[in-house]
Structures are given as C-alpha cells and as structure tokens.
C-alpha cells in the first residue's frame, strides 16, 4: 500500500539522519515516490542537526506543508547556530503558535 511505502521510506531517511548520514538521507529522500509531512520534517531535521542551515532553509522554502514541528525545527536550528535574529524572524512569521 502507498501509506506503507511512505512509512518505510521515511523510516529509512530517519535512520540515515539519526546516524548523521545526511547526504545518504537526501539521496533517498529525492528518490521517494511519495512524501508526507513526516518525510519532509525528517529530512529538515537532518539538515538542522548537522548544522546545515542553508540547506535546511532551501528545503523549508519548497516544503508543500509546514506544521508547528517544521517551524520549531527551523527556529531551534537558527538559535543553536547563534543566528538569533533569523530565529526571531521565523518566529514572527509563524502562522499559528501553541499557547503556553
């Protein structure tokens, strides 16, 4: 079934990401026949964890869906890299925020 395929592909991308094999993750991501929010967020997390914010931003800009997790990943990534102004900029652009 297609859902199982997306799940399997995403699990493999996540496995590469967890092992800091971002290039391999991206190669697999690009070959995926179908992607969902989890797939996109897994790849985004790989770039952020590897402190590759330029690549993360490129991916973020073309993502067909962005959820709270997507925005939080980017904001956290910029903050951890010391780019507080870009973190704040994204925070201000975030369409909806969870009340604290």
* Model pTM score: 0.88
- The CATH number that applies at residue 18 is 1.25.40.10
Total number of domains in the chain: 1
In whole angstroms, give the CA distance from residue 32 to residue 68: 23
Is residue 100 in some structural domain?
Answer: no
Buried-exposed string 30-51: b where 16+ CB fall within 10 A, e elsewhere: eebeebbebbbbbbbbbbbbbe
In whole angstroms, give the CA distance from residue 54 to residue 100: 30
pLDDT of 38 above 90? yes
Report the percent of the chain where pLDDT is more than 70. 93
What pLDDT was estimated at residue 99?
A: 63
Is residue 98 in some structural domain?
Answer: no
Report the percent of the chain where pLDDT is more than 90. 89
What pLDDT was estimated at residue 53?
A: 97
Angle between helices 37-49 and 22-31 (to 10 degrees): 160
Provide the H-helix boundaries in 33-83. 37-49, 53-62, 68-80
pLDDT of 1 above 60? no
What pLDDT was estimated at residue 96?
A: 73
Q: Tens of pLDDT along 57-90?
A: 999 999 999 999 999 999 999 999 999 999 999 9
Which residue range forms the structural domain that includes residue 61? 2-93
pLDDT of 100 above 90? no
């Amino acid at each position: 079934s297609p859902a199982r395929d997306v799940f399997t592909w995403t699990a493999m991308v996540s496995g590469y990401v967890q092992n800091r094999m971002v290039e391999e993750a991206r190669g697999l991501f690009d070959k995926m026949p179908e992607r969902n929010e989890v797939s996109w967020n897994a790849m985004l997390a790989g770039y952020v964890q590897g402190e590759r914010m330029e690549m993360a931003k490129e991916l973020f800009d073309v993502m067909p869906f962005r959820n709270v997790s997507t925005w939080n990943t980017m904001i956290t990534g910029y903050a951890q890299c010391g780019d507080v102004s870009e973190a704040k900029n994204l925070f201000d652009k975030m369409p909806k925020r969870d009340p604290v």
